[in-house]
Amino acid sequence: MIEKTIETKISVYKFEELSAEFQMLIERAKEQVINAYAPYSEFHVGAAVQLENDEIFTGSNQENSAYPSGLCAERVAMFYANSQYPRVPVKTLAIAAFTKGSFLADPVTPCGSCRQVLLETETRFEKDITILLYGTEYVYKINNVKQLLPLCFEKSSLSR
């Protein structure tokens, strides 16, 4: 038997310690929570995607009474950005969540489906995407999507 250890590196910051560019992108994600359609969970998520050309696209979660038919904020923003600029890599993604009258103290992480979509975008452009997960107490900065999804299924998995 062989044992392997998989580690994920996460940098933890106070919001004020982040660069002005990262702070601005988080603010754009936070602004999006008001656009969420979340009558069932009452869990409002906002996302902001910054492309290499510095264009920014935002999105919010959109629920549906047939739960699988809804879409998370991360995928709304990412698909919007990719549809408008299909040949421009994504530089950074910021995510913020709001429920019961306030933003979460701890950062919220993307669901498994979102992680897979983010990974596809990262591998598509062969360029790391920085992930910023906002919480009022601290912000996680993750250097690439593979840190979120270390045992991933990707294009190369299909040819094994």
Tell me the percentage of the chain whose pLDDT exceeds 70.
Answer: 99
In angstroms, rounded to a whole number, what is the distance separating the alpha carbons of residues 152 and 145?
10
* Domains, the chain, with CATH or none: 11-153 (3.40.140.10)
Q: Whole-model pTM above 0.85?
A: yes
> Could you list the active site residues?
74
- pLDDT 10s digits, 95-138: 999 999 999 999 999 999 999 999 999 999 999 999 999 999 99
